[in-house]
Amino acid sequence: MENSFATRMGKVKKSFIREILKVAGDPEIISFAGGLPNPALFPVDNMRAACVKVLDESARALLQYQTSEGHGPLREFIARRYRERWGFDASADEVLVTSGSQQALDLIGKIFIDAGDRVVLERPGYLGAIQALGIYEPEFVQVELEDDGMDTARLAETLAERRPKFIYTVPNFQNPSGVSYSRERREEVARLAVDSGCYIIEDDPYGELRFRGESVPPIRLWAGANCIMTGSFSKTVAPGLRVGWVYAPREVIDKLLIAKQAADLHSDSLSQRVLYQYLADNDIDEHIAVIRDAYGRQRNAMVAAVKEHCPPDVKCTEPEGGMFLWMTLPKGLDSHALFDKAVAAKVAFVPGTPFYTDGGGANTMRLNYSNSDEEKIHEGIKRLGRVIKDAVAGGCA
Amino acid sequence: MENSFATRMGKVKKSFIREILKVAGDPEIISFAGGLPNPALFPVDNMRAACVKVLDESARALLQYQTSEGHGPLREFIARRYRERWGFDASADEVLVTSGSQQALDLIGKIFIDAGDRVVLERPGYLGAIQALGIYEPEFVQVELEDDGMDTARLAETLAERRPKFIYTVPNFQNPSGVSYSRERREEVARLAVDSGCYIIEDDPYGELRFRGESVPPIRLWAGANCIMTGSFSKTVAPGLRVGWVYAPREVIDKLLIAKQAADLHSDSLSQRVLYQYLADNDIDEHIAVIRDAYGRQRNAMVAAVKEHCPPDVKCTEPEGGMFLWMTLPKGLDSHALFDKAVAAKVAFVPGTPFYTDGGGANTMRLNYSNSDEEKIHEGIKRLGRVIKDAVAGGCA
């Protein structure tokens, strides 16, 4: 009965990253492959206190079925944060709680994409979005990500020629590149989307993790009702609790709610309440400052180690926040071919090609610094540098 | 931008049940409309103890990202239960943890259904499945549910003529009807599916809630690798923790895993671990016996009240387990038209039509007894009986 699967399943492959993470499971390997937050920074004691409190106060209520929209006070917390941080006129009614922001992407794909619809995303683009949206069989159109954001001249042409359903973007410390959009690029992307009547999906899991430079407002500031924002507590609190959200105009939330109810009725109630209690009883900004500080040091260690240990024609981004750095090897080197050699040398990364829907990226790789301490980062990049140098010397095309 | 939604969203409506549950939110209304377990039976203290234990023992691990397959020991618990209860050769590798069994239905729809594929289900059929699968735009073919299961003669014709992708069935205490399949019907459904090379989705959320008669093995006993079972802890422990599962052959699990990862990466980790700890530290069968006993009494109260308060030509099923009873009014009465009158009389139910994909069911309704105590059941059915009698007298077609 093998051939009875839906057509859409013929087009998606088992995540390459899954396979890579398995290899990287060897404890001797220093892995820059995953996208995990640093567990040493999880607010374990305060989460435990929040958990005990909600069980003492409302166990019977939280164990029952809930509404599909999500826990009311949590939705209000999310809306209030948008109001306070960016002055958006956000209300809890415009917030839908999802099972992580990954589910937000699935639901967005479900309500918008007919097979063959065009979807614009950055080149390279976020693999989780490629996977979630890819299930609905769009045609992806990648627009080059430059140092300060998407190539807006190319975006303008793409919008005119291809009439995409929406633009998907990660404007802060993008995954996989670490690149952030300048204020000008944000304004321009917003203007282009509004002018062409196209939605923007503004995915912002890392926005609060800025350790350098000045915060820039979300694209939504300029795009207004054309913008659908997604967010997550995975990077600021903990990813094991699957709690993310969509913040969007009511007519979009209405459709998402139908899809959400069909998908899983509602997100986990225990986690929503524990998370809300944690947020109510603690200063989340104080906690985020601790994460920011640590990731900033880890990022500095990685950038410095790359400069010290890699050949000078190896380029890497120097992110102002987030969890990833993007490395470009000299032309002719193939990061896939390097991967096995790197694993033999006990260091792992993600080769760049899965982040390209159009081929390309063979000489690129993603490196994660959030899940390794400075000492490991130094040692791991030293190992990687040696592998790259050997490849340059030996030819590893 | 209203018209930029995907075609599939034009075909699904906001759940009628959602609207009904809102009406039924009035505390003066005795509601038989929902499908909620009795919260008085939630094992609150033992769940609290399990929660504290997992946080003390593995907080940092459980707060991190997890594998998409689900928590290993929980998958093994589920597989072992299939081995012990039914002698199935089940392994943890054949179990995927989902965010409630609702998500299992969504993922099954995603991996199997191309638009226009035929899907067979009972008539009346489970609304949650109609919603989850409906998103993928199948053509539903309903086969009449008789007193002891699906009309297998009609099923045989349907399989031959319509070549469906799969048969969806709830063989134990079906939602909405309360009907259970006899052993003979199970064997026959299995034989027909195997002969025509068609999958069976055997959804069994209520199987453990039998309060009368003898347990009958799942259809899987006879259908083997043609069978995909789904299950849930929502009815045996608590639904607020969104933990369900699929038990299926490896090649199906492989595809589901791809869809699961794209849908939400993994199910909530806190809830999976708390649930597993609860199952490890307590005798779940003892707990289920308490639920069974209570629901049996509630069901008896409802069946007796219907006989006492409703006109003699009102028929209702007499379920051997589960949470629902199905009422058929005299021909010409319309349960939709009765609904407003019932709400005015402070009692609520779900009119039958949403459970039919082909129209029909106008004179039917679903009544839930798990979420009301015997006194409320008696009073509520008394109110409903009066509304029905008035309608019979006045004509409410």
Cα A13 to Cα A239, B169, B274: the distances in Å are: 24, 30, 32
What pLDDT does residue B15 have? 64
Answer yes or no: are the C-beta atoms of A371 and A385 closer than 8 Å: no
Answer yes or no: are the C-beta atoms of B106 and A263 closer than 8 Å: yes
Q: Do B63 and A48 touch (CB under 8 A)?
A: no
The 8-class DSSP code of residue B321 comes to B
Rounded-to-integer distance, Cα A362 and Cα A342, Å: 16
More confident residue, A305 or B2: A305
Across the range A384-395, mean pLDDT stands at 91
Rounded-to-integer distance, Cα A366 and Cα B331, Å: 67
Domains of chain B: 2-43+286-394 (3.90.1150.10), 47-281 (3.40.640.10)
Q: What is the pLDDT of residues A124-160, one digit of tens each?
A: 999 999 999 999 999 999 999 999 999 999 999 999 9
What is the distance in angstroms between the Cα of A136 and the nearest Cα belonging to chain B? 9
Rounded-to-integer distance, Cα B344 and Cα B139, Å: 37
Rounded-to-integer distance, Cα A232 and Cα A83, Å: 17
Chain-centroid distance, C-alpha B120: 16
Across the range A38-67, mean pLDDT stands at 95
In terms of C-beta distances under 8 Å and separation of at least 24 residues, what long-range contacts does B123-126 make, across chains too? B123/B356, B123/B358, B123/B360, B124/B176, B124/B177, B124/B326, B124/B352, B124/B355, B124/B356, B124/B361, B124/B364, B125/B168, B125/B355, B125/B356, B125/B357, B126/B168, B126/B170, B126/B174, B126/B175, B126/B176, B126/B203, B126/B355
Structure tokens at B172: 């134990």
**Whole-number mean pLDDT of chain A?**
95
Question: Which of chain A's residues have a Cβ under 8 Å away from the Cβ of B52?
Answer: 48, 51-52
| Residue in B with minimal Cα distance to A71 | B240
What is the distance in angstroms between the Cα of A31 and the nearest Cα belonging to chain B? 15
| Residue in B with minimal Cα distance to A225 | B1
Rounded-to-integer distance, Cα A143 and Cα A189, Å: 12
Q: What is the pLDDT of residues A225-246, one digit of tens each?
A: 999 999 999 999 999 999 999 9
Question: Which of chain A's residues have a Cβ under 8 Å away from the Cβ of B20?
Answer: none
Answer yes or no: are the C-beta atoms of A204 and A172 closer than 8 Å: yes
Structure tokens at A73: 């006070």
Band of residue A394 on the pLDDT scale cut at 50, 70, 90: confident
Q: Do B135 and A270 touch (CB under 8 A)?
A: no
Answer yes or no: are the C-beta atoms of B138 and B116 closer than 8 Å: yes
Q: What is the pLDDT of residues A2-49, one digit of tens each?
A: 568 999 988 766 666 666 767 767 889 999 998 999 999 999 999 999
What is the distance in angstroms between the Cα of A137 and the nearest Cα belonging to chain B? 12
- Paired with A316 in beta bridges are A327
More confident residue, B394 or A282: A282
Cα A130 to Cα A139, A175, B122: the distances in Å are: 10, 12, 36
Cα A270 to Cα A113, B122, B378: the distances in Å are: 32, 34, 33
What pLDDT does residue A293 have? 98
- Comparing CA positions, the residue from B347, B348, B277 lying closest to residue B53 is B277
> Which among A135, A238, A269 has CB closest to B240?
A269
Torsion of CA A233, A129, B69, A75, to 10 degrees: 30
**Cis before residue B176, ω within 30 degrees of 0?**
yes
Q: Do B131 and A266 touch (CB under 8 A)?
A: no
What pLDDT does residue B281 have? 98
* H or E segment to which residue B246 belongs: strand B244-247
Question: Which of chain B's residues have a Cβ under 8 Å away from the Cβ of A239?
Answer: 63-65
| Residue in A with minimal Cα distance to B114 | A6
* For chain A, percent of residues with pLDDT exceeding 70: 95
Q: Radius of gyration over alpha carbons of chain A, in Å?
A: 21
Q: How high is the ipTM of this complex?
A: 0.95
- Comparing CA positions, the residue from B323, B287, B296, B284 lying closest to residue B84 is B284
Rounded-to-integer distance, Cα B274 and Cα B97, Å: 14
Rounded-to-integer distance, Cα A325 and Cα A165, Å: 29
What pLDDT does residue A66 have? 93
Q: Do A15 and B258 touch (CB under 8 A)?
A: yes
Residue B178: left (phi > 0), alpha (psi -120 to 50), or beta?
A: left
> Which among A15, A56, A197 has CB closest to B261?
A15
**Cis before residue A176, ω within 30 degrees of 0?**
yes
Residue B10: exposure state from Cβ atoms within 10 A (0-12, 13-18, ≥19):
exposed
Answer yes or no: are the C-beta atoms of B275 and B237 closer than 8 Å: yes
* H or E segment to which residue B200 belongs: strand B199-203
Suggest the residue from B12, B165, B265, B276 to mutate for an interface test with chain A (most A CBs closer than 10 A). Answer: B265
pTM of whole model > 0.90?
yes
Across the range A297-314, mean pLDDT stands at 97
Rounded-to-integer distance, Cα A278 and Cα A54, Å: 10
Question: Which of chain B's residues have a Cβ under 8 Å away from the Cβ of A234?
Answer: 65
What pLDDT does residue A182 have? 98
Within 13 A of B174's CA, how many CA atoms are on the CB side? 29
> Which among A4, A64, A261 has CB closest to B240?
A64
What pLDDT does residue A22 have? 72
Q: Where are the beta strands (DSSP E) in chain A?
A: 30-31, 95-98, 118-123, 139-146, 149-150, 166-169, 199-203, 227-232, 244-247, 315-316, 324-328, 347-348, 350-351, 364-368
What pLDDT does residue A10 have? 84
Question: Which of chain B's residues have a Cβ under 8 Å away from the Cβ of A19?
Answer: none
Q: Do B270 and A274 touch (CB under 8 A)?
A: yes
Suggest the residue from B65, B103, B227 to mutate for an interface test with chain A (most A CBs closer than 10 A). Answer: B65
Across the range A341-349, mean pLDDT stands at 95
- Paired with B183 in beta bridges are none
Answer yes or no: are the C-beta atoms of A363 and A331 closer than 8 Å: yes
What pLDDT does residue B10 have? 84
Band of residue A357 on the pLDDT scale cut at 50, 70, 90: very high
Q: Do B111 and A264 touch (CB under 8 A)?
A: no
Q: Do B48 and A55 touch (CB under 8 A)?
A: yes
- Comparing CA positions, the residue from B157, B176, B256, B172 lying closest to residue B220 is B172
Rounded-to-integer distance, Cα B164 and Cα B117, Å: 7
> Which among B7, B44, B242 has CB closest to A267?
B242
Question: Which of chain B's residues have a Cβ under 8 Å away from the Cβ of A236?
Answer: none
> Which among B6, B117, B239 has CB closest to A112?
B6
Per-residue pLDDT of chain B (397 residues; tens, 9 = 90+): 656 899 999 876 666 666 676 776 788 999 999 899 999 999 999 999 999 999 999 999 999 999 999 999 999 999 999 999 999 999 999 999 999 999 999 999 999 999 999 999 999 999 999 999 999 999 999 999 999 999 999 999 999 999 999 999 999 999 999 999 999 999 999 999 999 999 999 999 999 999 999 999 999 999 999 999 999 999 999 999 999 999 999 999 999 999 999 999 999 999 999 999 999 999 999 999 999 999 999 999 999 999 999 999 999 999 999 999 999 999 999 999 999 999 999 999 999 999 999 989 999 999 999 999 999 999 999 999 999 999 998 864 4
Checking if the pLDDT of A199 tops 80, the result is yes
What is the distance in angstroms between the Cα of B392 and the nearest Cα belonging to chain A? 36
Answer yes or no: are the C-beta atoms of B333 and B365 closer than 8 Å: no
Answer yes or no: are the C-beta atoms of A86 and A202 closer than 8 Å: no
Question: Which of chain A's residues have a Cβ under 8 Å away from the Cβ of B251?
Answer: 2
Torsion of CA A382, A387, A390, A395, to 10 degrees: -140
Cα B360 to Cα A153, B348, B351, B352: the distances in Å are: 56, 20, 11, 8
